[in-house]
Each structure stands twice: as structure tokens, then as C-alpha cells.
Amino acid sequence: MNAAIADPNSGIEDVDLLVVGGGKAGKTLAMDAAKSGQKVAMIERAMIGGTCINVACIPTKTLINSGRVLQTIQRAAEFGVAGADNPWMDLALLRHRKEDVVSTMVKGQLASFTASGMDFVLGDATFVGERTVRVTLNDGGTRTLRGADVVINLGTEPLVPPIEGLAESNVHTSNTLLRLEALPESIAILGGGYVGCEFADLLNTIGVRVTIVQGGERLLPREDEDISGQIAKNFTDAGITLRLGSRARKIARAQDGSVTVTLGSGESVTADDVLVAAGRRPVTDGLNLENVGVKLTERGFIAVDEYLHTTADGVWAAGDAAGSPQFTHVSYDDYRVLKTNLAAQQGIGAPRSTAGRLIPYAVFTTPELGRVGLSEREARDAGYNIRVARMPVSAIPRARTVGHLDGLWKAVVDRDSNGILGAALLGTDASEAIAVLQMAMLGGMEYTAVRDAVITHPTIAEGLTLLFTQAFLED
């Protein structure tokens, strides 16, 4: 390990790079810097490997995959497989698999941290001076560390909105739901955003009666109406109850354990449990950030410029808590931006900005949604002269062979340049297919070049050659 040097007078240990919070950006940067011979310390209070591995992307997608396995077995006879008549989800086995995937990854992370040579400190950090934190160690005691450069990568946590009775009703967040020991028969999910929709779909698949209570008139309100409308239809067809345009006003848990959510209209929804999926808030409270010159935004995120520099000299921030779009792949790109900019301040290379990044994402419902670039609404609002390509997934030969015909693909094209402005692919394997289109966009390809490409048959990606044909492109 490239050990920190402790000042015998102040007790402060000096390092080249101090990473506060071991999220995707911070841990990747810490490992890189340590491997290159710098003295690096990274402070993490609880989750080795960060949110994604412990309580977000990895466990949820592991569970969602199990749900898909169940669905496939339920349809076994349709695929010509006999003898799979009564499949059901065994919660203990399901949890075991999820924990196995997570713990294997956590162990791998710990081994990589150690092998990199960084000083990995398990404890809670709070700022006590310029570029200096005091760490209350999980094992007892404290350490004080100062970085020549400091990177803050604290992440976010579930937001619990100020609804009457909510805090006292012992309801679930995405974190606690992942540790369920028994499935409720029914659940009300407060919030129809990405997290709410993924959990609704998963829980419904594994046999829980789900009601989504969504304040807005649509699920996934950032998406175009045809896309969120199709997802809403898929949900209702699958048996999920939607209470759209309904705000939860009051929550109360009864003696028998059931929870009643009173809506703004006065109506109510009663379920065995409640999941709050109402967004996430930055974990910046109690870090004393503003006293050391690191300004926060009104909503408590760390204010950064386009180079991820905070308002304090030598202090940088990355990931969710720095207000970056809340995805692991964005935090990873923040790492690349930071690496470039830390080198640039040493006179090596030019700095890199976060502006203009093309950020894709996926919502892992059934079927799933892959998104990149502008939606139709965003493109129109931005003043583009657009054409829209829109195609049912059933037009793709591969969708027939795998028996997943549901969904809708759409792309937005700039009529003036023939460039691709964005796409929403709702259908099987859309999270993979969207990357193909993203590459075309990054390469500046015109839609006609995608249409005319020779793509392997029969694959889902082949659908891109169909999407841009005259049959599906509006005049």
C-alpha cells in the first residue's frame, strides 16, 4: 500500500488523492491513481462497491431476470416444452441467488481495492477543514485525512416525501424491499418513475397484486406519450392497477398490518405493504460541506461546473450527488472526466467537459425500454424539423422466433440533415439494441446508412434496418 503520511503535530494524514464515498466514479479513479503509484485513500461508510452493486442495478436486475425465467417457464407449453406445469417463485431461493451475485461482486471489489494499493477506509467521513475529512471508523476510533485533491462521490438515497403518516407506517423503500423475507399478497407503489415501474413489473410477475399510485397523469413522464401509454397498457394488461393523476395524501398502517393510502380525491387504496419510489435525494447532510467552501444546490446536490470541479479549490465531485444523471454508466463517465481533468491540471492533455454527453438508459420492465437522445417531444421543443419512424416490434422476424411480439420502436430523425436525434425502443432486448443506435449516432451516421446496413438475420438489432424504411417513416 502507498501509505498516507501522518503529520506528527496535527495527526492529519496526507495523501495525493482522497476519495470520499466509494461510488462508481470514485472507486474507479481511486484504483487507477493507486496503481499509478499515487498515495490514495478512499472512505466508504457501508457499501463496498457502492449503491449499484449493493442495492440498485445489480440486485434488481438479478431479480428481474429471475422473474423473466418464471415467465418463460409459465409459457413453456407455448414453446413446445412439456412438464413445467406449476412453476412458482421460491422467495428464499430467489433471495439466495441475488445475495450470491451481490456478495461475489462485493468480494471482487474488495480484492481489487486491496490489489490496487489504495488505503481503503471503512468509516463515516465528515469535512473538518480544507480538503480534510475526519473519519469515524466502523471498527472504532477516528482518522483525519487530507488530500492534495479530493473527490466526493456520495450517491443518493431513497426520498421519503412528507406525506402524513408515511414516516410512522414502516413502509418499504427500494433498499428494504430487496431484503424481504416474505412476499406480501398486495402492494401499493408510490411513484410511477423508473424505479417504481421496474419494481411494479417484477412484483406483479412473481405474484404480488400491485397498484401504482402516480401523481402525474402518466407513468414515466419524461417519455413520449405513446411510449408511456404503451407501458401503461402493458401494465394493465398484465394485471397491475394504475391510479394515475392520484397523489397520496395520507398513509396509515392498521392493527392487522395492512396499509391504507388516502388519495387527494378522498378515495383510498389498501394493500399489505407500501413501496415508496418517489425519487432520490443526495447524501450530503451532515458532511459540513458548505463550511469548507463546497456549495450545495437548493436541492442539496453538490454544485459543480462542467469539469466536475466544486466551488472549493482542489475539491471535485461526481455521480448522483453531483447532480449527474442518475445512472451508473454516467458516474463511470464522470470518472473519465475527472481522470482527464486531474491530469490536465498537471499539464498533461486538455480538460474534458461533461457537456453534450449522449446518455442512453434502459428501463427493465417487460418488455423493456431502451432510450437514447431526444424524445419526439424534446426534438419538437428544440425546434428541429423532424420525421418520426414508428414500428411495432411484431414486424421484427426475431421477435416472432422468440415469442416476444409486444412493443413499439420509434426514432426521431432530423429532416434537414437525415441525422438521428433519438430513439425509444420498447420491446424485447431493447436495452441491447439501443446501443447499436447509440453507436450510429456517435458516428454521425444518417438514418439511411442504418437502414441500408447489412445486419445479421434474424436478430433484434436487424429491426433497425426495418424501422427506417419508408413503411415506418412518416412523410
Positions in the binding site for ligand FAD (CB under 6 A): 21-25, 43-47, 50-52, 56-57, 60-61, 124-125, 153-155, 174, 195, 283, 287, 319-321, 326-329, 331
Residue 16 host element (H or E): strand 12-20
| Least Cβ distance, residue 386 to ligand FAD (angstroms) | 28
**Which bin fits 172, alpha (ψ -120 to 50), beta or left (φ > 0)?**
beta
| Least Cβ distance, residue 309 to ligand FAD (angstroms) | 17
Comparison of 319 and 422: residue with beta carbon closer to ligand FAD: 319
Task: State in Å, rounded, how far the first CA of the chain is from the last one.
Answer: 64
For residue 456, give Cα distances in angstroms to 306, 459, 461, 464.
Answer: 40, 6, 8, 11
| Least Cβ distance, residue 83 to ligand FAD (angstroms) | 34
Comparison of 175 and 465: residue with beta carbon closer to ligand FAD: 175
User: Strand 156-158 vs strand 142-152: parallel, antiparallel, or unpaired?
Assistant: unpaired
Comparison of 320 and 462: residue with beta carbon closer to ligand FAD: 320
Beta-bridge partners for 214: 244
Comparison of 129 and 392: residue with beta carbon closer to ligand FAD: 129
Neighbour-count burial for 359-387, b at 16+ CB within 10 Å, e otherwise: ebbbbbbbbbbbbbbbbbeebeeeebebb
| Least Cβ distance, residue 291 to ligand FAD (angstroms) | 15
Sorted by sequence, the CB contacts under 8 Å of residue 189 that are 6+ apart come out as 196, 199, 200, 203, 210, 211, 212, 213, 274, 275, 277
Q: Which residues are catalytic?
A: 457
For residue 198, give Cα distances in angstroms to 65, 68, 280.
Answer: 12, 12, 15
Q: How many residues does the chain have?
A: 475
| Spatial separation of the C-alpha atoms in residues 383 and 340, rounded to whole Å | 34
CB 74 within 8 A of CB 81: no
C-alpha cell at 75: 409459457
Residue 113 host element (H or E): helix 91-116
| Least Cβ distance, residue 388 to ligand FAD (angstroms) | 27
- Considering only CA atoms, which of 277, 249, 276 is closest in space to residue 193? 277
| Least Cβ distance, residue 146 to ligand FAD (angstroms) | 15
Comparison of 25 and 231: residue with beta carbon closer to ligand FAD: 25
Comparison of 60 and 262: residue with beta carbon closer to ligand FAD: 60
